Structure 1
Amino acid sequence: MGRVRLNVAERREELLRTAVEQIEERGVAQVRIADVASALGVSNALVLYHFSTKEKLVATAFAYAAEGDLNRLRGILGRRTSALRRLRAAVRWYAPTGQAKGWRLWIEGWAAALREPALREVARDLDQQWKRALADVIAEGAAAGEFDCEDPASAAWRLTAYLDGLAVQMTSYAGSLSRAAMLQWTDDALARELGLRPAELVQRSS
């Protein structure tokens, strides 16, 4: 039986999904156009028709993978509840023990971005979107008097930098920290940024 004929948009999405899988399995440096083509049983030429270079394929695949998590983050932050509850849910979801993006993929992307301008631009834009989304809700909660935070943008930067750093450690040295400890540290970091005691954060956001 032949392959199902896909339209352009469907084919492009299939290629991106497969590219993400191959990057996670092989790493950015080792993945080839041929790996993506072989996994789908198509020609290299078909992949190159949609993405003219490996660099463009990798950058677009990285953005594709991250967009799903950005949409999920926006959904959490857009819930009809207090800013504090939304922030804690988002930060715990984003943490290395949460259900956010595959951290191995992000770490691969950060490393490759040092040498690939196209991927660097994509990664920077996605990172800024994450920070803006968090900063907006921190500003909302501070304005409503839920907590104190004089500089929401800086707070969002510190939170994401802290969680990114933990993710690198947890991914590189699996099992070095328990899930319970990771969640406690995440709550502690958020509480510091919002001028709350950790126990107060938990009580008011539960």
Structure 2
Amino acid sequence: MSTTPARSRTRKAPAERAAEIVAAATAIAREGGLSALTLRAVAERVGVASGLVAHYQPSMDDLVARVYADLVEEEVRDVEAVLADVADPAARLGALIDTLMDGEREELTVVWVEGWAMARRSEPLAGAVRAQMERWQTLVERIVADGCRSGAFATTEPGEVAWELIGMIDGLNAQSLALGTDTSRFALRTARAAEALVGARPGSIPVRS
């Protein structure tokens, strides 16, 4: 009588399994947004029972917050790398606008929009959202402050201006996502508006579009 050999299972070290679960959750969120991140979806992606995922991640709120923070932090580092070699503050601000409005970060726009909405019901996510918003504000404020020191910009409120710029770019990206339009076509208008906000000479912030 023939028998089917049982499938062998490899027991993974706790740290390895925990990292695998976070990686699977991150992939799901990148593909479908934070709302797609459920215990069942993570378990199916890893190929384990839901109970095992719950053992390593007893709080889905904490897991969603961790994934959100990791994805946004990765985005910030990518943008910082793009801006690292741009010395002139006006050109750096133009490069920031181009990078954030080129239509290549749509999956992260979904993560941002859902993060804002879902944070109302999750304190861990709310904390992560606030921390990453402050991270972005610091990045943009630094550019504006550099421009003020060099004489390229003339605002006396670089922090407030940074928030306005972020809000303008985020709003256009979110609306373009909802309408299915190309955000890059607004890059030049955004640059001209940014010049007024930072007190720069008209036409001094270069963008590709």
Measure, in 2, the Cα distance between the counterparts of 1:119 and 1:147: 35
Deviation at 1:201, TM superposition (A): 2.3
* Aligned-partner SS, 1:200: coil
Structure 2 residue 204 is matched with structure 1 residue 200: yes
Q: 1:128 to 1:6 in 2, by over 3 A?
A: farther
Q: Which runs of 5+ in 2 are unaligned?
A: 1-6
* One-letter code aligned to 2:172: L
Name whichever of 120-129 and 90-99 sits farther off: 90-99
* TM-score normalised by the chain length of structure 2: 0.82
Measure, in 2, the Cα distance between the counterparts of 1:29 and 1:180: 26
Partner of 2:112: 106
Deviation at 1:180, TM superposition (A): 5.0
Measure, in 2, the Cα distance between the counterparts of 1:4 and 1:145: 62
Contact 1:135 1:155 in 2 (8 A): yes
Deviation at 1:150, TM superposition (A): 1.2
* Aligned-partner SS, 1:172: helix
Measure, in 1, the Cα distance between the counterparts of 2:104 and 2:36: 28
Deviation at 1:142, TM superposition (A): 0.8
1:162-183 Cα offsets, whole Å, 9 max, x none, are 11111221111112xx455321
Deviation at 1:47, TM superposition (A): 2.1
Aligned pair partner of 1:116 in 122, 144, 147 = 122
Q: May I ask how many residue pairs the two structures share in their alignment? A: 202
Aligned pair partner of 1:15 in 21, 36, 59 = 21
Contact 2:30 2:107 in 1 (8 A): no
Partner of 2:4: none
* Aligned-partner SS, 2:121: coil
* One-letter code aligned to 2:206: V
* One-letter code aligned to 2:179: Y
Measure, in 2, the Cα distance between the counterparts of 1:190 and 1:11: 46
Partner of 1:144: 150
Deviation at 1:26, TM superposition (A): 5.3
Partner of 2:65: 59
Q: 1:170 to 1:9 in 2, by over 3 A?
A: farther
Q: 1:68 to 1:7 in 2, by over 3 A?
A: farther
Measure, in 1, the Cα distance between the counterparts of 2:176 and 2:156: 31
Could you list the structure 1 runs, at least 4 aligned residues long, displaced by more than 3 angstroms after superposition: 1-14, 23-31, 98-101
Q: 1:4 to 1:163 in 2, by over 3 A?
A: farther
Structure 2 residue 79 is matched with structure 1 residue 73: yes
1:40-77 Cα offsets, whole Å, 9 max, x none, are 21232332233221111111111111111111222234
Q: How much identity, in percent, do the aligned residues show?
A: 25
Q: 1:123 to 1:62 in 2, by over 3 A?
A: same
Q: 1:91 to 1:180 in 2, by over 3 A?
A: closer
Partner of 2:3: none
Measure, in 1, the Cα distance between the counterparts of 2:151 and 2:13: 51
* One-letter code aligned to 2:176: M
* One-letter code aligned to 1:97: G
* TM-score normalised by the chain length of structure 1: 0.83
Q: 1:179 to 1:65 in 2, by over 3 A?
A: closer
